[in-house]
Chains A and B, each alone.
Chain A
């Protein structure tokens, strides 16, 4: 089984005495996008973090290409990118430096690719300013630039459109659409519908 495929089977997660995930199941094949919705505190972030292995579920399994990811977390991590709702940026570094260090730890990225990514998200004019001086939307755009450099099959996105203007939300839509077009998969936890450019959208609603 060489095709990328993500299966989540019957996940149960407890945080203290709160039963956050109650038997979450889904399967995702190449070229599919899953949109996870639900009220605040319904476990969207917990679901993403559990899938990528930052949290361990009490019950249930996550399968990547048909194999339990806990057997080989490293292979799984090499195949995914997780973008939390806070972009992992340092306030004391410029947008460009942040991107170089953050992405460089994972991939070999040339300077040209870096510039291209910054250009793509419209960050070129201000990419040498310290992140401390950037707005929340601009920070989000830097995070998206990191995403465009992540050529991995699986993207796990937590609130990718927060703080973005209309044009930025369209950008997220087209980034996701491109990822799907090259046979990738996306799991996105959102409050608002993803832009209509994303086709093959599947939905998962978490209850409060």
Chain B
């Protein structure tokens, strides 16, 4: 993975400047991609817990939808039992839509996505980590 390091390490005529260069660039070994993805995941989770509002809002919405349904339709138990799975899933879907907005917006604004794109790491893994945190 340490492309930079190895590219500089290939230098054959090890003159004084070359030796100095390869040493300098070797100091920054590219992190393994899974480690990078782990950090991206940890970062997003930590951010989510710092921003309580964004974390609580979809959950509160989900609770409200599920509570309002019996009030709106009928308190009859057999009927509720029938529609419960549908309500839960639809409620969860809508709640995750609420949080979807925050998934990439902040990162796009402050340039984090750019840094990911330029990190030389696999974007697939980084984005997988982000969506997993979501």
Partners in one complex: yes
A130 CB to closest chain B CB (Å) equals 8
The B-contacting residues of A in range 121-171, CB under 8 angstroms, are 149-153
Tell me the bound Cα distance from A78 to B6 in angstroms: 11
Q: Digit string of A78-93 for contact with B (CB within 8 Å is 1, else 0)?
A: 1111101011111011
Check A104/B31 contact, CB under 8 A, given A78-B4, A151-B25: yes
Q: Are A54 and B20 in contact (CB under 8 A)?
A: no
Q: A74-B120, A102-B115, A107-B31 are in contact. Are A152 and B21 (CB under 8 A)?
A: no
Chain B nearest CB: distance from A140 CB in Å? 13
Grouping DSSP codes into helix (H, G, I), strand (E, B) and loop, the A interface class, with mixed when no group exceeds half, is: loop
With an 8 Å Cβ cutoff, the count of chain A residues facing the other chain is 39
The reply to whether the CB of A52 lies closer than 8 angstroms to some CB of chain B is yes
Tell me if B79 counts as interface (CB < 8 A to partner A): no
Contact digits for B20-60, partner A, Cβ 8 Å, 1 yes 0 no: 11001111111100011001101100110011000000000
Q: For chain A residues 45-88, which have a beta carbon within 8 Å of chain B?
A: 52-54, 74-75, 77-82, 84, 86-88
> Is B131 an interface position by the 8 A CB rule?
no
The answer, yes or no, to whether A108 is at the interface (CB within 8 Å) is: yes
Q: Chain B residue with minimal CB distance to A150? A: B28
B121 within 8 A of A: yes
Q: In the complex, what residues of A have CB within 8 A of residue B27's CB?
A: 151
Task: Tell me, yes or no, whether A30 is within 8 Å of chain B by CB.
Answer: yes
B50 to chain A: closest residue by CB: A92
Q: Is A183 an interface residue (CB 8 A)?
A: yes
Whether B31 pairs with A106 at a CB distance below 8 angstroms is yes
Residues of B within 8 A of A89 (CB): 110
User: In the complex the two chains form, is A84's CB within 8 Å of B119's CB?
Assistant: no
Nearest CB of chain B from residue A114's CB, rounded to whole Å: 13
Contact present for B28 and A151 (CB under 8 Å): yes
Q: How far is the CA of A89 from the CA of B18 in the complex (A)?
A: 35
Please judge, given known A-B contacts A88-B115, A101-B43, A106-B119, whether A2 and B11 are in contact too, CB under 8 Å: yes
Q: A82-B118, A97-B43 are in contact. List 9 more A-B contacts (CB 8 A).
A: A2-B12, A53-B118, A79-B4, A93-B43, A93-B50, A106-B119, A151-B26, A153-B21, A184-B24
- A-B residue pairs in contact (CB < 8 Å), sample of 27: A2-B11, A2-B12, A4-B21, A30-B17, A54-B117, A75-B7, A77-B117, A78-B4, A78-B120, A79-B3, A79-B4, A82-B115, A86-B110, A90-B43, A90-B112, A92-B47, A106-B28, A106-B119, A107-B29, A150-B28, A151-B26, A153-B4, A153-B25, A182-B20, A182-B21, A183-B20, A183-B21
